[in-house]
Amino acid sequence: MSVKNISSAILGVGVDDTTIDLFESQYPVPTGVSYNSYIIRDEKTAILDTVDARATDEWMANVTEALAGEKPAYLVVHHMEPDHGANVARLAALYPEMQVVGNAKTFQYMEQFFGPEAIAKERRVVVKDGESLSLGAHTLTFVFAPMVHWPEVMVSYESTEKVLFSADGFGRFGAVAKFDEKADWASEARRYYLNIVGKYGPQVQALLKKAAALDIATICPLHGPVLTGDLSKYLNYYDMWSSYRAEEPEKILVASASIHGHTRAAAHTLADKLRAKGAKVVEIDLTRVDVSYAVTEAFRCGKTVLACATYDGFLFPPMENLLTHLKTKAFQSRTIALMENGTWAPMATKLMRAELEGMKNITVCDTVVTLRSASNPAAEAQMDALAEELLAK
């Protein structure tokens, strides 16, 4: 990325990171990720957020080009997570007359990352929820968004050009340069939201209510493309995801964790039986696919089949990992079917039920498929019964 004109006064100075393999050291990003940063040029020029330490040099070059010799009056910090706040102290040192804008928690975390002397107290502009900052022709109004997805997060609304600077909200995996605007924005926005922000649905709902009162023409997130045009589709996605509603209530995820392939084969047989009855089914092999994709599909679908082998008297770890992630992300209001395998002591159903009991509003089918090593006619009969029950839910 280089400097991009969002408008004549608002410039994008963010950076694409195409060499990163794991975002937050856990989420695969095959097309990279962007760290977005913005500059508003006015009587008082403001820089909005910095970038990850991986992208410092390119970002600094973009900032220098966009400033064109001017000195910034403000650095506005919407979010202190290191992929956005890593260069706060460096920029403050480079421009000693620049003031830094944040809320009380912003500066608390800033001190924790950089020490109490990095930003002198006389340089701090501590804002409260609903307060505004005039830059000249442009005015930023700050809207607090705690736990979307850190406690200090705030967004800002620029009223002249009707721009919402949305912090991590409406972000997306993928380098912006590789984003096809004709493609499905939701594909990687969905995985980003559900895995990173998914736990905080009520807080996102609160932010959406505040945003509904604003006349928004453009959304500038800290990851992914700038959003323009008909914004209702993006807002509708966020309303759905944060309400924990299934995008496709009748779609079924079949997720399997198989040691030697027998559980996987049986799960595939069940998936075929469901398809034969007209169901839309997606299959995921948890031993081969990163858990973030499985979490995404579990939230997307209204129904899920969990097929797991017993391992040392416990769940085979890929399934345990999925259930842990689902619980962490507040997975709820879905229908679940269970399939287990165990050569001498199948325990997976009991253990999966115990995990699901800790989740809200989960309906578990009465019928269970139990394999003893491999599928057989009795197990297939259980699959037929389970398919009927699941489709009737």
**Model pLDDT, residue 179:** 62
Angle at 83 between CA 81 and CA 84, to 5 degrees: 70
Q: Return mean pLDDT, the chain.
A: 96
Q: What are phi and psi for residue 211, nearest 5 degrees? A: -65, -30
Q: Taking each helix axis as running N to C, give the angle between helix 262-276 and helix 377-392, from 0 to 180 degrees, rounded to the nearest 10.
A: 50
Quick one: which of 20, 32, 21 has its CA closest to 173?
32
Successive 10-residue mean pLDDT values, the chain, 393 residues: 91 96 97 97 98 98 96 98 97 97 98 96 97 98 97 98 98 83 83 97 97 97 96 97 97 98 98 98 98 98 98 97 98 98 97 97 98 97 98 95
**Model pLDDT, residue 45:** 98
Q: Report the relative pairing of strands 163-165 and 218-220 from DSSP bridges.
A: parallel
Q: What is the DSSP letter of 137?
A: S
Tell me the C-alpha distance between 138 and 158, whole Å. Answer: 6
Structural contact between residues 287 and 318, judged by C-beta atoms closer than 8 angstroms: yes
Structural contact between residues 385 and 368, judged by C-beta atoms closer than 8 angstroms: no
Structural contact between residues 393 and 363, judged by C-beta atoms closer than 8 angstroms: yes
> If you search the block for the tokens 């989740």, which residue do you land on?
359
**Model pLDDT, residue 177:** 79
Q: What is the pLDDT of residues 119-168, one digit of tens each?
A: 999 999 999 999 999 999 999 999 999 999 999 999 999 999 999 999 99
The pTM is what? 0.95
Q: Which helix (H) or strand (E) holds 320?
A: helix 317-328
> If you search the block for the tokens 């990095």, which residue do you land on?
118
Structural contact between residues 284 and 255, judged by C-beta atoms closer than 8 angstroms: yes
Structural contact between residues 66 and 13, judged by C-beta atoms closer than 8 angstroms: yes
Structural contact between residues 310 and 345, judged by C-beta atoms closer than 8 angstroms: yes
> If you search the block for the tokens 């502009």, which residue do you land on?
125
Q: What are phi and psi for residue 219, nearest 5 degrees? A: -115, 125
Tell me the C-alpha distance between 324 and 362, whole Å. Answer: 15
**Model pLDDT, residue 184:** 83
93 CB-near residues (< 8 Å, 6+ apart): none
The amino acid sitting at 247 is E
